[in-house]
Structure 1
Amino acid sequence: MAIPISERDIRVKAQKGLFDLPFYLILIHLFFDYGRPQSFFPIIGALHPGYILHTLLFLCLFLKGKLLNFKNIQTKCFLGLLLLMMLHGPIAVNNYWAYQVWRTITLYFIVYLSIISFVDSFPKIEKYINIWIVINLLGAIIGIKNGGKIPNSGFMGDENDFALVMNMAIPFAYFMFLETNSTKKKILYLSACCIFIAANVASFSRGGFVGLVPVILYCWYKTPKKVLSTVIVAIMISILYFSASSKYWQEVKSIKEENIQKGTGEERIYQWKIGWNMFLDNPLIGVGQGNFPFRFREYEIAAGFYEGLHGRSRAGRAAHSIYFTLIPELGILGILLFGGMIYFSYKDLKWILKIEKDFLFKQQSDKTIQKLHKIRFIIFGITGAMLGYLISGIFLSVLYYPHFWLLIALCVALRNIVQNRV
């Protein structure tokens, strides 16, 4: 005999379905953003999956009443950045690029709001991280086969940008390896760490190497069992050593050789000096997002470099640095908002670790203690990924890429989850 279903049961089931849908849309968006299937199948790109997913996420936020979810300080800082960028729309020299960057960051704001609203449980945040690791693992394998990049795939199509993503992925895989009790998962995570390192090496990126070293050291430092961490780090260093060719080590050694008077190091310092002059002339709000390349020649001439560097102007080129994109383009106000997102995220993660200690002190059940340990390793993964981003990004123009905004979203989501449970 069939059991009748009440109207209330139907309503609850419908709400649950709507609740789960946004989470899976977030995972699909993550796949298209980092997996880049549209690079291999142009017909997918022709369908503009990004626009479809952003629209669906926006509708989910609207229908669930989460569109104005501005209770976290990081969200307010993010909104402040968007308003600052909107201000630059009519006053920037190149309005088109100012608009394009604002539009890109606005779309990531929708994704950010979706993550802090719908990644609202420990299983979901763990699944999100696992999916991200698997996506980057596939990307790493493809990258190794294609010289340290994924061809025709946006920010994964450049060797340096590719290496930065690998540096962000290593801490997540490493600390998830420490967190899990499953032998199969341990093998997967440790294998992923090794493949991410090999992919970094395949990129021949000097900036990638500079970011890789502190990431590995951070993984060792944050491991509770130092003997275990020493063994694992030794394995990671072995992978780095044996997967690297003599040409790779020559590239790494050239970091010392290419200083402020030679090679790309000289070019970067030259661009950063012009960028600093740009900031000094527009200290409060900067010259506008995306406008560094278009204002460069003006300030190059003002600094007396009429023929550029060695007879060639560097106008039209990116700043090749997170910081020298941020400083001249968004000024003091942008620096404070960007820095505020980092500072308050750090405070949130520190608060969660304090909560963990308090709960452990009260001798909670084994299940609760296990969950708290899991949270700790997730925090270490987020922090290590942020470290990889901020250090590797010293030499890369990745400010408007998705990495930073998604990491901040994870911090806020984790804070909200813990706060709701407490």
Structure 2
Amino acid sequence: MRRGRRPARTEPDPNPASAAAASPGADPLYALHPKALWAYLKTQPASFWLICFYLFLEYVRPQSIYDALVGPPWALICVILTVVAFLVLEGGQIRPRTPADAMLAVFTVIVVASSVFAWKPEASYAKLQDYFSWVLIYLLISSIVTTERRFLVFLLSFLLYSFKMSQHGTRSWAEDGFIFRDWGTTGAPGWFQNSGEFGVQMCVFLPMVIFFITALSQHWGKVTRMLMWAMAVTAVTGIVASSSRGAILGLAAVALWMLLKSRYRARALVGTVVLTLFVLYILPPEQKARLDSMGEDQTSVSRKDYWKHGREIMAENPVMGIGYANWPDWYEANYGFRALPHNIFIQAGAEMGYTGLLGLAGLIGATLVVNRKTRKIAKTLPGAGGNRFLHDSAHGLDGAMIGFLASGMFVTVLYYPFFWINLALTVALHNATLDAERRARLTAPQRKSGDAEPAPVPLLMPGPALRRGGGW
């Protein structure tokens, strides 16, 4: 150990004997009892508390809701404190070690290069902070959330914050009598204020909570099961309430993906039919008419024009595009008004050329590859069929990516939290799975020798992962 450097906090193995409602040998946190969660949180270092609080600021956004909190850049302050706590006070380290880390480095080089050679470099430089903020958040999350228990608590907080949005959207729609509203349902001011972005978040939220339920519901009581299923129901209702056709297509993509992935096709097919009937039942007639006219109405025609122009930009600037964050200014200079590409792939390709489009595809592919590796390792861990929570969480993150990609085909949200938080959670889950594998390997000889309780394995907390309208 280096002189003068405080060792990182260690996390002992969970004590299976304290599991109240869980099955024998299961982690007591699986039951999601508030007292157990609070007892665990009290053992965690400041960096973990701060990164969880950052997630609260970004998704719940009290600083944008309550006048008394308006002003200071709370998210930025929280991130700075997290960096200081993790790197300085706790001696944490950033250790990239997955294909996603490598692809993020490549994509970052592409973003910087496209900025240097941009049509208007000053526009790129003004927005580089937004991109690098997500890189920093990714590094912090993937470096701090490195054990199964931390990932469980962090993922639960993400689901609860998303539930805050989904229940509010459902309740506000119900108060209006479930009528069609062309402005849709919105979230808190910031990233999710627009109904389209709110719908994207619901498409990300839904598969994550579904697989959270499949992994842990056997450890819960009736009230907890009802709460978690309420999350899923309000996520679906929120998608319909958003009046976003892209979100509806995202929901369809998630449902189809889950049907194809399921090992229990008959059960999954029944669930898909029930979901379809539920959506059709609550879908307002005006929304059905909008779906029927998709591709022919004025909104669709405008977006097809933007996509056509984006493809033309890629053809004319195939290597580096017109430059990162240059679309609004370029479009106004060439067409006389400001507009957005309304498609994450057009956004990447037009601004960073085919190089940027390939870089984005590489990040998506790396996400899926890392989740596949996570599932493969999770199957080998102790337990009936392996560690189901880690295994199913990887499926949930895949589903969230599918929901984002499908609904993101119609909105300009490449540099919103959806993709980058999912990427960070993917790597954090993989690191937590590697940690579980290491613990299992190191304690295996003790279990074979007949020890009733394996000794805790001290492990250094490794170290890696900001914003626009909902940011600093």
Is the shorter-chain TM-score for this pair beyond 0.5, marking a shared fold? yes
CA distance in 1, matches of 2:116, 2:349: 20
* Distance in 2 of aligned mates of 1:151 and 1:127: 23
What is the 5 A alignment of 1:279-358?
A: 279-297=314-332, 300=334, 313=336, 315-357=337-379
Alignment of 1:154 onto 2:190:
yes
SS in structure 2 opposite 1:136? helix
User: Does 2:182 match 1:167?
Assistant: no
Partner of residue 233, structure 1 = 272
Question: How far does the alpha carbon of each residue in 1:348-374 deviate from its partner, in whole angstroms, 9 at most, with x for none?
Answer: 2222333344x2xxxx75xx3376222
Does the 8 Å contact 1:193/1:236 carry over to 2? no
Q: Which residue of 2 aligns with 1:272?
A: 307
Residue number in structure 2 paired with 1:55: 80
Cα pair 2:254 2:399 within 8 Å, conserved = yes
* CA deviation profile, 1:292-312 (whole Å, cap 9, x unmatched): 1211255x5xxxxxxx6xxxx
Mapped to 2, the partners of 1:346 and 1:191 lie a distance apart of: 28
CA gap of 1:80–1:331, structure 2 versus 1, over 3 A, is same
8 A Cα contact 2:8 2:91, kept in partner:
no
> 1:34 & 1:230 partners in 2: Cα distance?
33
Contact map agreement 2:63 2:69 (CA 8 A) in 1: yes
The whole-number CA distance in structure 1 between the counterparts of 2:421 and 2:305 is 31
Partner of 1:373: 388
User: Displacement of 1:96 after TM fit?
Assistant: 4.7
Cα separation, partners in 2 of 1:191 and 1:15, compared to 1, 3 Å: closer
1:152 CA displacement? 5.9
- SS of equivalent residue, structure 1 residue 154: coil
Would the alpha carbon gap of residues 83 and 296 (structure 1) be closer, same or farther in structure 2, given more than 3 Å must change? same
Task: Indicate the residue corresponding to 2:470 in structure 1.
Answer: none
Q: Describe how 1:39-54 pairs up with structure 2 within 5 A.
A: 39-54=64-79
Q: Which residue of 2 aligns with 1:398?
A: 413
Which secondary structure state, in structure 1, belongs to the residue aligned with residue 70 of structure 2?
Answer: helix
Change (3 A) 1:222 1:127: farther
Mapped contact 2:9–2:45 kept (Cα < 8 A): no
Mapped to 2, the partners of 1:24 and 1:200 lie a distance apart of 31
Cα distance in 2, alignment partners of residues 104 and 411 from structure 1: 21
Q: TM-score scaled by structure 2?
A: 0.75
Per-residue Cα deviation, 1:71-100 (whole angstroms, up to 9, x for no partner): 333223323333333344454344454234
The separation in 2 between residues aligned to 1:161 and 1:396, in whole angstroms, is 8
Q: Distance in 2 between matches of 1:30 and 1:48?
A: 14
Moved more, 91-100 or 123-132: 91-100
* Residues in 1 aligned to 2:355 and 2:43: alpha-carbon distance in whole angstroms: 38
Note the 1:5-404 alignment, pairs <5 A.
20-63=45-88, 64=90, 66=92, 68-144=94-170, 145=172, 148-150=184-186, 153-180=189-216, 181=218, 182=220, 183-255=222-294, 258-259=295-296, 262-297=297-332, 300=334, 313=336, 315-357=337-379, 359=380, 365=382, 368-369=383-384, 372-404=387-419
Q: CA 1:370 to 1:39, structure 2 compared with 1: closer, same or farther past 3 Å?
A: farther
SS in 1 for 2:412: coil
Amino acid at match of 1:199: G
Distance 1:89 1:326, change over 3 A: closer
Structure 2: stretches of 5+ with no match in the other structure: 1-5, 12-41, 174-180, 438-472
**Which residue number corresponds to residue 303 of structure 1?**
none
Question: In structure 2, how many angstroms separate the alpha carbons of the residues matched to 1:170 and 1:139?
Answer: 12
Cα gap change, 1:318/1:383 in structure 2, threshold over 3 Å: closer, same or farther?
Answer: same
Query: Do 1:197 and 1:239's aligned partners in 2 also have CA atoms closer than 8 Å?
Result: no
Of 160-169 and 29-38, deviating more is: 29-38
Change (3 A) 1:61 1:88: farther
Q: Distance in 2 between matches of 1:104 and 1:24?
A: 23
Distance 1:277 1:66, change over 3 A: farther
| Deviation of the 1:13 alpha carbon | 9.4
1:119 CA displacement = 0.6
Corresponding position of 1:7: none
Q: Secondary structure at the match of 1:390?
A: helix
333 and 18 in structure 1: CA distance in 2 versus 1, 3 angstrom threshold: farther
Deviations 1:230-277 (A, max 9, x none): 44434433432332221221222221xx33xx5222212211221122
Q: Supply the distance in 1 between the matched residues of 2:116 and 2:266 (Cα, whole angstroms).
A: 58
TM-score normalized with structure 1 length = 0.84
Structure 1 portions without partners, runs of 5+: 1-10, 301-307
Secondary structure class of the residue paired with 2:384: helix
The one-letter code matched in structure 2 to 1:269 is K
Closer/same/farther in 2, CA of residues 392 and 384 from structure 1, 3 Å limit: same
Cα pair 2:378 2:386 within 8 Å, conserved? no
- Which is further off, 73-82 or 392-401? 73-82
Higher relative CO (Cα under 8 Å, sequence separation at least 6) belongs to 2
* Alignment CA distance shift 1:218-1:251 (3 Å): same
Please report how far the alpha carbon of residue 32 of structure 1 lies from its aligned counterpart in structure 2 after TM superposition.
1.4
